[in-house]
Amino acid sequence: MENAMTSAYSHLQRTFTRLSRFGHLSAIAGWDMQTMMPPQGSQARSEALAELSVLCHGILTAPDVGDWLAQAHQETLDEVARANLLEMQRAYDNAVLLPASLVEAKSLAGARCEHAWRSQRPANDWQGFAANLKEVVRLSREEAAIRAEAAGTGRYDALLNLYEPDMTSARLDTLFGDLKQWLPDLLQRVVEKQRAEPCLTPQGPFAVDTQKQLSLKVMALLGFNFDGGRVDVSAHPFCGGVPDDVRITTRYNPEEFLTALMGIVHETGHARYEQNLPRDWAGQPVALARSMAIHESQSLLFEMQLARSAPFLQCLRPLVVSAFGEQEALSEQNFLRLNQRVKAGLIRVDADEVSYPAHVILRYEIEKALIEGEIEVDDIPALWDEKMQHYLGQDTRGNYRNGCMQDIHWTDGAIGYFPTYTLGAMYAAQLFQAANRAMPSLQQDIAAGNLAGLFQWLQQNIWQHGSRFSTDELITRATGEPLNPAHFRHHLESRYL
């Protein structure tokens, strides 16, 4: 990239390096807010983060930046620099549309709503939550209207583009429409099949300290770099921080250890992607993760394709037994059944991979209607219950805590994010199948605890590229074709039927 540096482009590089450093501070302050910060710090921290977001917005949208972008497009740049310039342009175009006042108001409303949600959710306080959410939705609609007008798209598409560039709701409707054709029947058949396969529940309690030690061993097995990250506890598991300092979290339950353990595997997938993004381009947008669906493809490849496969469970079981002792529920056959159990439930983050897409489609349909103004915040609980009954046969009436209040995403206006989970599951199935084709001994290697080949393949095909290619090009280079949901269906049918 150095050779390609010319006047306007080098000004842009310096500007984006500066933005990256402020983004670093914002990420760590945000992580602290969700893990370590005492409750009383919320207001001051929210204001500090809002101030920082306004500062970054000002740097990114300065008139000079627009001028430099126009000039840089005329300069001779190498392939990576050209890709970086496209990402710079995208960031600028996304930011310059919004007035600083809206950026600040969104940041403050989101922080207020998220902080209150932490106590409102356990209290099942929908009314209190809805009051804050209305302000977040009002500001999100304002943002969506501005973006949609500039892009000439629908309002939801304008927000979806922030998380998944080049994806549209029309394409999602096709992909999800196809899923809705065959998934309910598959879910029913799998549940029916598993009814004849008794599955014992491990008997606790499972000491939290022991669970933590087990988590660290599994993270090490999965190649997490502890010199460049750490694991903590939060109300909602997440992966945050920056590539040189990745912060992941989970939540422990002394009565049950698998949710926290698989949560760790999932977040470690995110973390490995972050830790292996291209360091040569650090501080530049081309060095960032391609999109949220690609990010989710990495966490779901780790959690679903790898960690719930029979070969990996074979190598994970001895670690679990050495942590908690031998019991019948941890026998080889039962341990496999435990980790491949399919059951429609209320909670998205605890859902198995067969029922999970239904949780995502439900949220997608609600948030799309919400942002387009077809429904209001007060309509969410009834609509949620109706869709839960339809897709998963679950009753959520009056149970806001485990219904429409369970997720953190809407609290800070992250509307357009949910579809990336199921897109990620589709990409993960396609990538894992390609890795198996490339390495015929992969399944035996996994059973032996040798994961180096898989990680090397991911490094070569996904991690090292950052945002150098579009999502379609990245996936086509890695697997030989763009997104093909048939791989996801094939994976579910072959594992569960």
Per-residue pLDDT tens digits for 182-196: 999 999 999 999 999
What 3-state class would DSSP assign to 239? strand
Note the pLDDT of residue 285.
98
Evaluate whether residue 132 is within a structural domain.
Answer: no
Q: Give me the residues paired with residue 231 across strands.
A: 248
Cα distance between residue 262 and residue 350, in whole Å: 9
Do 159 and 93 lie in one domain? The reply is: no
Cα distance between residue 382 and residue 404, in whole Å: 10
Evaluate whether residue 78 is within a structural domain.
Answer: yes
Do 64 and 182 lie in one domain? The reply is: no
Tell me: pLDDT of 3 over 50. Answer: no
- Region 46-57: mean pLDDT is 94
| CA distances, 482 to each of 84, 170, 495 (Å) | 22, 17, 23
What 3-state class would DSSP assign to 331? coil
% of the chain at pLDDT higher than 70: 99
Evaluate whether residue 387 is within a structural domain.
Answer: yes
Note the pLDDT of residue 350.
86
Evaluate whether residue 306 is within a structural domain.
Answer: yes
Q: Which amino acids are annotated catalytic?
A: 267
Note the pLDDT of residue 5.
52
Question: Hunting for tokens 């491949």 — which residue is that?
Answer: 340
- Region 96-106: mean pLDDT is 94
Note the pLDDT of residue 235.
83
Tell me: pLDDT of 79 over 70. Answer: yes
Cβ(227)–Cβ(242) below 8 Å: no
- Residue 299 structure tokens: 């966490």
Evaluate whether residue 120 is within a structural domain.
Answer: no
Do 71 and 210 lie in one domain? The reply is: no
- Give the chain's length: 497
Amino acid code (one letter) for 383: L
Backbone φ and ψ for 415, nearest 5 degrees, come out as -90, 130
Do 76 and 159 lie in one domain? The reply is: no
Tell me: pLDDT of 218 over 90. Answer: yes
Do 167 and 68 lie in one domain? The reply is: no
- Region 149-164: mean pLDDT is 97
CATH number at residue 335: 1.10.1370.30
Note the pLDDT of residue 209.
98
From 491, 182, 454, select the one nearest 309 (Cα to Cα).
491
Tell me: pLDDT of 423 over 70. Answer: yes
From 372, 285, 244, select the one nearest 95 (Cα to Cα).
285
* Residue 2's pLDDT band (cuts 50, 70, 90): very low
- Region 364-374: mean pLDDT is 98
Annotated binding-site ranges for Zn(2+)? 266, 270, 296
* Containing structural domain, residue 78: 1-97
- Region 57-83: mean pLDDT is 97
Note the pLDDT of residue 208.
98
Do 91 and 222 lie in one domain? The reply is: no
Domain count for the chain, please give it. 2
Note the pLDDT of residue 6.
58
Tell me: pLDDT of 12 over 60. Answer: yes
- Region 103-127: mean pLDDT is 95
- Region 133-158: mean pLDDT is 98
Annotated binding-site ranges? 266, 270, 296
- Residue 335 structure tokens: 């341990």
Tell me: pLDDT of 294 over 50. Answer: yes
The CA-based diameter of the chain, rounded to the nearest angstrom, is 70
- Region 124-140: mean pLDDT is 98
- Region 49-66: mean pLDDT is 96
Mean of the per-residue pLDDT values of the chain: 96
Evaluate whether residue 128 is within a structural domain.
Answer: no
Evaluate whether residue 384 is within a structural domain.
Answer: yes
Evaluate whether residue 148 is within a structural domain.
Answer: no
| CA distances, 319 to each of 207, 211, 261, 325, 445 (Å) | 15, 11, 12, 10, 17
Q: Angle between the 419-438 and 452-461 helix axes, to the nearest 10 degrees?
A: 120
Do 228 and 355 lie in one domain? The reply is: yes
Of 74, 97, 120, the residue that ends a domain is 97
Do 67 and 163 lie in one domain? The reply is: no
